[in-house]
A = this chain, B = another copy of it.
């Protein structure tokens, strides 16, 4: 067999039924799908390679793998390596974990899995160790009865009982996503932000309705939306006295700095919230439609986060699909603050950052993880 011959000479086999590998740093690119494709007589970017970043993406499905690369490109997410490991006659998901563990360029692992045929226990043991250092974000195809039937005819995987997989993923501290949007949103956040030590979220918004959707989603997804403590309340009231916040701001949670807010209102509020003992993670909704919000908000908020030195995850949300919204969200991400087009997607991601942080705390590994995070990304 090919595998035995390869082993004899110290080689590994990837595939079959894969679409190649792609290393953004060495330049190795064996994907056999061309980047450009004809559209109305012009050549358009059709199979993009995402920008360099700190993610390893392993995919059991080839076509879905490159489609996800396309989505990562569109979502402004950088990756280090892509491996389409297909039907894994040799290299499998456990290898992905081990490679990522050793590679200093990789901080986050994303895996699209259909089925783990053999050595599932080994995968969980390795995963458990790797998770302490680098988050493993998983999307699992073939979860339902109809899905399992489809998986069998696709990669011949025994998709098995999803509850078994879920229990295994949970045990190893992996972060399990429900949808493709969540998969992509989540790796983006993990590639930029530290995990949260707990579930207490504080929401800052310049729009009441958007804050409301964020609150509902946070509570539904399992985050805690508590009213502000007296200390935080006093800080916020001081903000009004100092002219940083408008007098008709509303200080419940969400903290509504209103449509009359300026960049400075966000900066002042974010500082108070990051310093608040009762906040584990922060969502900022900065609808750009508001007159006082400018394109310098991303840098200002980044500076605020750095100067606070509290290392709580912060995600940003602006709603919209026209020029300003698209550029604004990109600018946030280039400043290292992940940005989402809806409050619900931002909330889903913070829940994942909290799940992982709480898992690390329970493993006694949170402080180690944070130390590494600060040295590399803080």
Name A residues whose Cβ lies closer than 8 Å to a Cβ of B. Answer: 33, 37-40, 44-48, 59-68, 70-75, 112, 114, 139, 141-147, 149-151, 153-155, 178-181, 206-213, 215-220, 225, 227, 250, 252-254, 256, 259, 287-291, 294-295, 318-328, 341-345
A114 lies within 8 A of B209 (CB): yes
Q: List 24 A-B contacts (CB under 8 A).
A: A33-B291, A38-B295, A46-B288, A47-B322, A62-B209, A63-B208, A64-B210, A64-B212, A66-B289, A67-B210, A67-B319, A70-B319, A71-B341, A73-B321, A74-B325, A144-B220, A147-B219, A150-B208, A153-B256, A154-B209, A154-B212, A178-B344, A180-B319, A181-B181
User: Contacts A147-B215, A287-B67 given: A295-B153 contact, CB under 8 Å?
Assistant: no
A141 lies within 8 A of B213 (CB): yes
A207 lies within 8 A of B63 (CB): yes
- List residues of chain B with CB within 8 A of the CB of A68: 319
Which of B112, B211, B321, B327 sits near A74, CB closer than 8 Å? B321
A44 lies within 8 A of B327 (CB): yes
User: Contacts A147-B219, A342-B180 given: A323-B212 contact, CB under 8 Å?
Assistant: no
Closest residue of chain B to A47 (Cβ to Cβ) is B289
User: Contacts A344-B179, A344-B181 given: A321-B75 contact, CB under 8 Å?
Assistant: yes
Which of B64, B150, B207 sits near A64, CB closer than 8 Å? B207
CB proximity of A55 to chain B, nearest CB, Å: 16
Tell which of A144, A256, A327 has the most Cβ of chain B within 10 Å.
Answer: A144
User: Contacts A219-B145, A322-B74 given: A289-B150 contact, CB under 8 Å?
Assistant: no
For the complex of A and B, the 8 pairs showing the least CB-CB separation, nearest first, are A74-B321, A61-B209, A64-B209, A70-B320, A154-B208, A63-B207, A46-B324, A67-B319
B65 lies within 8 A of A209 (CB): yes
